[in-house]
Amino acid sequence: MVSRWLIRVIGLVNTIILARLLSPEDFGIAAMAALSIGMIETFSEVGAVNLVIRSKDTSAKFIDTGWTFQILQGAIVAVAVVSLAPFLSAYFSEPRLEMVLLFAGLTAFVAGFQSMGVALARKRLDYGADLRFMVFKRVATLIPTLILAVVLRSYWALIVGPLIGAIGSTILSFYMFPRRHRLAIKHAVPFLSFARAAIPMSVAYYLNSRLPTLVVGAAADTHKLGVFNVAYELSDMATNEVLKPIGRVLIPNFAKVVGQAEKVTEAFLFGVQLMLMIALPISFGLSILADRFVLEVLGNQWVEAGSMISWLAIYVLATGVVQELTNNILIAVGKEGLAARLIWARLAFIAPIMIFFGHDGDIANMLMFSTCAVVGMLPVMLAIAGRLLDIPAKAFVAVLWRPVIAGGLMVLGVGALQAEMAEGVLSLLSLVVAGALIYGFSVVVLWLLVGRPAGVEQDMLRAVWTRVARAGAAW
């Protein structure tokens, strides 16, 4: 738990400090590079890590084949980025982007050599080792990026820092998970078969998660893109840094219950409830405190980001839950086809709305209508998944209404308090604490009122009580 929170804190501190040191235009150039390389990586995604985790084959040749495919993917991305750099630079009307993309391609190539020992740690449910590696990986990028930002005060810190981090984390992966890899293609067939399902899923997920930035990048200048990108990253960090660790923990457990209908239903409902129970209050809280947060934490040059975060926090919550359900949980139980259909359906619905309202650079309207649309689609996506997994709608309602009601009460409470409080960091912290207390109290009361059913609340309270009891015994 400490490691998970440390990862989130590192990411948040990194973004805040860099936002203070660099300009929105610097972040805009980095965003253009990220969009460019992200799309290319998406079209070459083979899902080697996911297949290694999911497969029952633990032979050295199979794992080495996965590592080989991972390297090939990195090499393909690097070559494609270098080849397309002049065209991408012209598309964004940003001549500085061409050289930036050369470094971004090199970063992708280096990252492809990461040891499969990391995936095997997740496969054997060694969450502690996996989380420690994630922390060290973040630090390996954070430190050089911050040093370069202080020295250069330039967008190059956002480009060279990740390259140094990729080199460091690749070396670290072999140090933490010693394993002698060899290039191999003996088991290429299952990886190629998996890639046929993984690439469409990867493309759909990337377009779903990055469509707002793609639309803004096509219509706005470098400055506005930089502001939007920071707003999006902070919103994404607040929610997905909670959802992703949950998904990482749930995937191996879901894979173990494939073919056991009752256990799949139980695990699916528990996963949905756990994600919303934890991520929803963070998302709602960030949304209502967005303007105050931006002013106090990022500074005046980012004030435009406040109104963006208010909508993006909710947008990212809805898309994050869908992504974890489709790209992780459904795949883990062998439902790749269903996962792909659901995420493509969502993209087909949301893309026209976002493009229509955002093509002229009207970010406010684009976010408002897109957020309403994606929130409206969330219950539809859950219903479709539930029908195909034989989970009735009332089962979803039974586990989800409590966090939703508690989140609404938190918003009302924090909104009322905020109107009476002066500006300042202490006021912001007080509102965060008040929101957490209101939400926690509301969840417990609602759970007690319905007869203390088994679920996330019960497990959380049991874990808290166990820790308190141990602390009391030690004292």
Contact present, 85 and 98 (Cβ < 8 Å): yes
| Residue 334: per-residue pLDDT | 64
Q: Could you tell me if 306 and 233 lie in one domain?
A: yes
Q: Could you tell me if 241 and 151 lie in one domain?
A: no
Coil/strand/helix, residue 174: helix
Q: Could you tell me if 103 and 214 lie in one domain?
A: no
63-78 residue pLDDT tens? 888 888 889 888 999 9
**Euclidean distance between CA atoms 321 and 280, whole angstroms:** 10
**CA distances to 313, 382, 414, 436 from 286, in Å:** 6, 24, 11, 12
Looking at 166, 186, 206, which one is the last position of a domain? Answer: 186
Q: Could you tell me if 337 and 358 lie in one domain?
A: yes
Residue 470 lies in a domain: yes
| Residue 393: per-residue pLDDT | 82
Q: Which of 32-36, 175-179, 210-214, 255-259 shows the lowest mean pLDDT across its residues?
A: 255-259
Q: Could you tell me if 200 and 178 lie in one domain?
A: no
Contact present, 54 and 197 (Cβ < 8 Å): no
Task: List the domain range (segments joined by +) for residue 6.
Answer: 1-186
Residue 283 lies in a domain: yes
Residue 100 lies in a domain: yes
Q: Could you tell me if 469 and 421 lie in one domain?
A: yes
Q: Tokens representing 368?
A: 């408002």
Q: Tokens representing 44?
A: 């070459």
Q: Quick one: average pLDDT of 221-242?
A: 85
Which long-range contacts link 412-419 to residues 24+ away (Cβ below 8 Å)? 413/438, 414/285, 414/288, 414/289, 414/438, 415/288, 418/288, 418/289, 418/292
Q: Could you tell me if 235 and 126 lie in one domain?
A: no
Q: How confident is the model at residue 283 (pLDDT cuts 50, 70, 90)?
A: very high
The domain total for the chain is 2
Looking at 186, 209, 242, which one is the last position of a domain? Answer: 186
Which residues have CB under 8 Å from 344's CB, separation 6+?
200, 204
**CA distances to 49, 108, 123, 156 from 174, in Å:** 16, 18, 17, 28
Residue 191 lies in a domain: no
Residue 309 lies in a domain: yes
Query: Which carries the bigger pLDDT value, residue 362 or residue 401?
Result: 401
Residue 267: pLDDT over 90: no
Residue 424 DSSP class: S
CA atoms within 13 A on the CB side of 442: 21
What is the percentage of the chain residues whose pLDDT exceeds 70?
A: 89
Residue 247: pLDDT over 70: no
455-464 residue pLDDT tens? 788 888 887 7
Q: Tokens representing 469?
A: 């009891």
Residue 174: pLDDT over 80: yes
Residue 259: pLDDT over 70: no
Q: How confident is the model at residue 360 (pLDDT cuts 50, 70, 90)?
A: confident
Residue 318 lies in a domain: yes
Q: Could you tell me if 100 and 143 lie in one domain?
A: yes
Q: How confident is the model at residue 281 (pLDDT cuts 50, 70, 90)?
A: very high
Q: Calculate Rg over the CA atoms of the chain.
A: 22
Q: Quick one: average pLDDT of 260-264?
A: 68
Q: Could you tell me if 355 and 403 lie in one domain?
A: yes
Q: Could you tell me if 148 and 13 lie in one domain?
A: yes
Residue 86 lies in a domain: yes
What is the percentage of the chain residues whose pLDDT exceeds 90?
A: 32
Q: Could you tell me if 147 and 252 lie in one domain?
A: no
For residue 230, the tally of other CB atoms under 10 A from its CB is 27
Looking at 164, 186, 208, which one is the last position of a domain? Answer: 186
Residue 395 lies in a domain: yes
**Euclidean distance between CA atoms 325 and 333, whole angstroms:** 11
Q: Tokens representing 375?
A: 């929130």
Q: How confident is the model at residue 381 (pLDDT cuts 50, 70, 90)?
A: confident
**Euclidean distance between CA atoms 143 and 164, whole angstroms:** 10
Residue 79: pLDDT over 70: yes
Buried b (16+ CB within 10 A) or exposed e, 66-101: bbbbbbbbbbbbbebbbebbeebbeebebeebbebb
Range among 183-187, 284-288, 382-386, 395-399 rated most confident: 284-288
Q: Could you tell me if 12 and 155 lie in one domain?
A: yes
Contact present, 100 and 33 (Cβ < 8 Å): yes
| Residue 28: per-residue pLDDT | 92
**Euclidean distance between CA atoms 206 and 40, whole angstroms:** 10
